[in-house]
Amino acid sequence: MTQPIRYKRNIEQNGITQQAQEKLFNARVLVMGAGGLGSGVIMNLAALGVGQIKIIDGDIIEESNFNRQIIHKYRNIGRAKVISAKDWVQEYNPDIKVELDKIKINELNYFNIIQGYDIIIDCFDSYESKYMLNEIAIRHKKILIHGATQGFCGQVTTIAPDKTGCLECVMQKPKNIKETVLASLSPVVNTISALQAQEALKVITGIGSPLLNKLLVFDGLTSEFKTLNYSKNPACSACSMTNIY
């Protein structure tokens, strides 16, 4: 059950009905990564009242994380990010059930992790991991809310199985992709992560229009947003292969 007072301003002022708030509370969202994007996504999901959040990250907190990863506390350097993130959620909104797994996912270990979750939010910080997650989401027909930043720029899109193109339709996967961690700046990371959480809100409640076949691009240097339309590429090596699974 939702708490009327906690969610009063969600319900009264934003067109979110009691039923929509209940949908949020009954939703299960999988957050892949508890770093910069993950911090903002998790905090916003907790504030919205998403009832079950599963957080996946294999890293521990390091001092260099603190230019952007605002969910973690300096005193917790050396602790697992997933535990730190869970602690934050439970202090902020104790009604939310948090599951966690301190693991770096790969093609061999992901299967049990995604079971029971229909919405995955991509908060990874490298394109190698993002492309892998894109393929996993397509294979298992999960909604994938992609977000990425590079310095002052960022982007968001919502990829829905059988309805939209995928990450590789938008940006072809380079051959010999290497795990390169993307540059990240706190205001940009927090802008993009808030938009990812907003996408989850729209997908869960049915309110508004998620960024389906639309890539929202943000340029922090000029404070401009652009929306680029895309569509499923029949030759896409990721989503055009759906029928073989």
Residue 218: its H or E element: strand 214-219
Per CB under 5 A, which of residues 168..207 are in contact with Zn ion? 168-169
Q: What's the token pair of residue 90?
A: 């439970």
Q: In Å, how far are 73, 85, 90, 182 from 61, measured between CA atoms?
A: 9, 10, 18, 17
Distance CA 39, CA 19 (A): 27
**Shortest distance, CB of residue 166 to Zn ion, whole angstroms?**
3
Stretch that binds Zn ion, among 55-63, 188-196, 205-213, 232-240 (CB under 5 A): 232-240
**Shortest distance, CB of residue 239 to Zn ion, whole angstroms?**
3
**Shortest distance, CB of residue 118 to Zn ion, whole angstroms?**
19
Q: Which lies closer to Zn ion via its Cβ, residue 89 or residue 166?
A: 166
**Shortest distance, CB of residue 164 to Zn ion, whole angstroms?**
9
Q: Contact with Zn ion (CB under 5 A): which of 53, 144, 192, 239?
A: 239
215 binding Zn ion? (CB under 5 A): no
How many positions of this chain bind Zn ion (CB under 5 A)?
7
Could you tell me which of 132, 134, 129 has the C-alpha nearest to residue 145? 134
* 180, 150 Cβ separation under 8 angstroms: no
Q: Which lies closer to Zn ion via its Cβ, residue 157 or residue 193?
A: 157
Nearest 5 degrees, angle CA 207-CA 239-CA 130? 75
Residues interacting with Zn ion, by CB under 5 A? Answer: 165-166, 168-169, 236, 238-239
